Structure 1
């Protein structure tokens, strides 16, 4: 199973795209997002305990998580915009210390039976984008996506 994760930052579009490939079908990769227990195993800072407090993965629904970090509790929230199981998900991600960010997830079956997952975070302003880069958002999201391999 490939654990390679590629991160691409597009300064003109103010996006960060994380791509990885799984040796699993799209339905299994989709469960990384649709199953609260799976979300708790990979989303968020690797190595820190996280709980999924609420999981309503439908347009208009929310997913709420809590991370126990050394400096205190971090709360995160997804405001779900669109859901197309098992191929696509779009939500606005909000977290303590970070302005809301639109996240677009694409799950793409490959001809060899593997599945590519592409996660793109888009930032609303140059200041928000610069702040996200400065605090290591791209590196953190890359580590989380890499950890998703262990959650399957």
Structure 2
């Protein structure tokens, strides 16, 4: 599986994103939890990402800001609930423009023949909230992020 796969089932509150990476889980885990590396892959390719806060530990807070070429900003934030390196983390995820729409995201990394199967499941407060993310082209942003992460992992083999 070279591309990012999405599972978006009618009537369900969750969205699942799956991707295989040509790197072991510990390297992928570092790339997705290192505040210095996040701006190199997180978000759509037309935006830059700034990490305002990233405390990867249970109870730790995170906040990323996407910025467009005109300086407009879109912030995302949440709290880590579980961190089990290099296998998984669980955190809340919210777009600060819709603070009532907090999702619970679980990212799981599984080794498969020296590669990593990345699965991110986001459970939204309602089917309507999940569908709003889909309509806002969230899967495109997720796909672009995963493509950028694959490139990063390919260039930094000994992270």
Aligned residue runs from structure 1 range 61-100, under 5 A: 61-69=60-68, 70=70, 72-98=72-98, 99-100=101-102
Q: Find the aligned partners of 1:3 and 1:30 in 2 and give their Cα distance.
A: 19
Equivalent residue for 2:7? Answer: 8
8 A Cα contact 1:3 1:146, kept in partner: no
Equivalent residue for 2:44? Answer: 45
> In structure 2, the residue corresponding to 1:75 is in which secondary structure?
strand
Q: What is the number of residues matched between the two proteins?
A: 150
8 A Cα contact 1:8 1:17, kept in partner: yes
Q: Find the aligned partners of 2:60 and 2:78 in 1 and give their Cα distance.
A: 8
Equivalent residue for 1:35? Answer: 34
- Which deviates further from its counterpart, 90-99 or 25-34? 90-99
Offset of residue 135 of structure 1: 0.8
Offset of residue 46 of structure 1: 2.0
Equivalent residue for 1:143? Answer: 144
8 A Cα contact 1:30 1:107, kept in partner: yes
TM-score, normalisation: structure 2: 0.86
Equivalent residue for 1:105? Answer: 107
TM-score, normalisation: structure 1: 0.90
Q: Find the aligned partners of 1:46 and 1:80 in 2 and give their Cα distance.
A: 25
